[in-house]
């Protein structure tokens, strides 16, 4: 029995192409490392901007804090009682601008925070029976801010009287504003708060009131709402507006608490955002590093489809490429991703992708024509590369349907391979026996 020599040749070529695809995973891995490194540079630049401007801001309060002293066996024990307001109505107006460092940029926010509300009278006798003598002369009102570097101005009034504010941790475990209140504050009162803040990345507020309402107006068009609750209402267009209403039974902590670690940490970033506050993060819809990283992850599929497509075109046209030429094309395919990264940092992902795809398609197509002088093969190579680059771009833009489209492309490619290899079956010949 004699076997068809072409079948052995095609089998060898498939084996070599498979090995080449495996070898090309090395430069793809290096490209992935470069993407991570460049994203690290970007994050470092954003951290630098945040340190100068102000980081994520979480507004907490106002809360009334009263120390209680109990003496047992000449040992004095002090407990701080945190009292939440009965009503809290807060509004945050936010304007953004883009700040740059080197080639990287990030949105920064100017905030105007206004809040009003009321505290109800306390049952002082019941509290003293449980916690000892109240030191009303040390009672203070506390407003927490998570990053005091972003404070520009602040004012607070109690029953119409201005309260001087001082910076410091006070009864919190983190940065806060606090001011002394009159001893009759335990009888209740109304307050008005105004803050000027700067922030980056995230803005939120803690609904400390027994009934809290929060409204946010911002010029940023891409909010990512997060925290303990999603907004009851939101409208997103060139900017956005959102509002929340939170009842005390849902906020996660009591109206009156004694040295509650959660309450003391509300002003800091120690507690996870989803536990206590409501607000938004500055979502950036096009993160070019995430997009390039996704394209590199699809790189295995892309390189395999391209090389197998060229092999099928070779078999259908009855031509033969040298294995070195396959290697050159493979290197060009790997260079696409580093070219994409370099261009995307300066002209954006979409335009960078189109430019890199056009350049590599022209180079590979020209190389194929120079190697074969076959116009038909050159045109088919250009069409194939254009189609594959187009499919890869669609996959990068899809989220929920990326797997479905990818599976369809693989099935289509399998059909092409079946068609190109259908005549490679070895044929038996009569040996005269």
What confidence tens digit (pLDDT) does each residue in 193-203 have? 999 999 988 99
- How far, in Å, are 48, 110, 175, 201, 284 from residue 151 at the CA level? 17, 10, 11, 16, 25
Tell me: the pLDDT tens digits for 339-365? 888 898 888 888 989 999 999 889 888
pLDDT at 3: 39
Query: Residue 225, Cα to own-chain centre: how many angstroms?
Result: 12
Mean pLDDT of 62-84: 84
- Tokens coding 270: 């120690």
Q: Is 277 within 8 Å of 57 (Cβ atoms)? A: no
Mean pLDDT of 50-68: 86
CA 146/CA 261 separation, integer angstroms: 16
Peptide bond into 62 cis (omega under 30): yes
CA 306/CA 330 separation, integer angstroms: 9
- pLDDT surpasses 50 at 271: no
More confident residue, 339 or 285: 339
More confident residue, 396 or 337: 337
Query: Residue 340, Cα to own-chain centre: how many angstroms?
Result: 21
Mean pLDDT of 209-234: 90
Q: Is 139 within 8 Å of 181 (Cβ atoms)? A: yes
For tokens 């504050």, the residue is 185
Mean pLDDT of 181-191: 84
pLDDT at 170: 56
Mean pLDDT of 356-380: 84
More confident residue, 410 or 187: 187
Residues β-bridged to residue 218: 94, 240
Residue 429 binned pLDDT confidence (cut-offs 50, 70, 90): very low
Summary mean pLDDT of the chain: 81
Percent above pLDDT 90 for the chain: 16
pLDDT at 432: 46
Residues β-bridged to residue 100: 105
- Tokens coding 130: 């449980």
Mean pLDDT of 180-194: 86
Percent above pLDDT 70 for the chain: 84
pLDDT at 94: 92
- pLDDT surpasses 80 at 38: yes
Mean pLDDT of 205-226: 91
- pLDDT surpasses 90 at 90: yes
- pLDDT surpasses 60 at 270: no
Mean pLDDT of 25-43: 85
CA 370/CA 378 separation, integer angstroms: 9
- pLDDT surpasses 60 at 61: yes
CA 109/CA 222 separation, integer angstroms: 13
- pLDDT surpasses 80 at 243: yes
- The pairing of strands 189-200 and 151-158 is antiparallel
Q: Name the packing angle between helices 299-317 and 25-53 (round to 10°).
A: 150
pLDDT at 423: 63
Tell me: the pLDDT tens digits for 97-156? 888 887 888 889 999 999 999 998 888 888 888 888 888 888 888 888 888 888 899 999
């Amino acid at each position: 029995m004699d076997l068809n020599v072409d079948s052995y040749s095609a089998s060898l070529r498939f084996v070599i192409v498979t090995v080449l695809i495996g070898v090309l995973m090395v430069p793809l891995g290096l490209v992935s490392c470069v993407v991570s490194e460049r994203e690290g540079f970007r994050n470092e630049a954003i951290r630098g901007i945040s340190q100068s401007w102000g980081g994520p801001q979480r507004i907490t309060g106002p809360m009334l804090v009263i120390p209680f002293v109990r003496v047992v066996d000449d040992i004095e024990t002090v407990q701080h009682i945190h009292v939440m307001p009965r009503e809290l109505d807060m509004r945050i107006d936010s304007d953004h601008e883009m700040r740059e460092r080197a080639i990287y940029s990030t949105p920064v926010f100017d905030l105007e925070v206004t809040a009003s509300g009321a505290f109800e009278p306390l049952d002082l006798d019941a509290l003293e029976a449980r916690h000892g003598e109240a030191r009303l002369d040390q009672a203070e009102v506390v407003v927490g801010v998570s990053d005091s570097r972003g404070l520009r101005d602040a004012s607070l009034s109690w029953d119409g009287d201005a309260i001087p504010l001082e910076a410091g941790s006070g009864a919190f475990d983190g940065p806060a504003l606090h001011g002394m209140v009159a001893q009759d504050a335990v009888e209740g009162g109304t307050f008005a708060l105004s803050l000027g803040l700067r922030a980056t990345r995230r803005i939120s507020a803690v609904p400390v009131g027994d009934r809290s309402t929060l409204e946010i107006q911002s010029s940023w068009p891409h909010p990512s709402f997060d925290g303990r609750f999603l907004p009851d209402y939101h409208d997103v267009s060139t900017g956005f507006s959102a509002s929340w209403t939170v009842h005390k039974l849902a906020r996660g902590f009591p109206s009156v608490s004694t040295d509650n670690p959660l309450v003391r940490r509300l002003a800091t970033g120690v507690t996870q955002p989803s536990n206590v506050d409501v607000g938004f993060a500055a979502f950036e819809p096009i993160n070019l590093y995430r997009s390039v990283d996704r394209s590199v992850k699809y790189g295995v599929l892309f390189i395999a489809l391209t090389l197998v497509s060229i092999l099928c075109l070779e078999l259908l046209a009855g031509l033969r490429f040298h294995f070195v030429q396959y290697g050159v094309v493979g290197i060009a395919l790997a260079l696409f991703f580093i070219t994409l990264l370099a261009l995307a940092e300066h002209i954006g992902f979409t335009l960078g992708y189109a430019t890199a795809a056009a350049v590599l398609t022209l180079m590979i197509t020209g190389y194929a024509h120079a190697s074969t002088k076959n116009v038909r093969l050159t045109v088919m190579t250009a069409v194939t590369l254009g189609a594959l680059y187009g499919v890869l771009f669609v996959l990068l833009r899809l989220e929920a349907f990326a797997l479905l489209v990818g599976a369809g492309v693989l099935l289509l490619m399998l059909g092409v391979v079946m068609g190109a290899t259908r005549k490679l079956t070895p044929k038996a010949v009569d040996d005269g026996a």
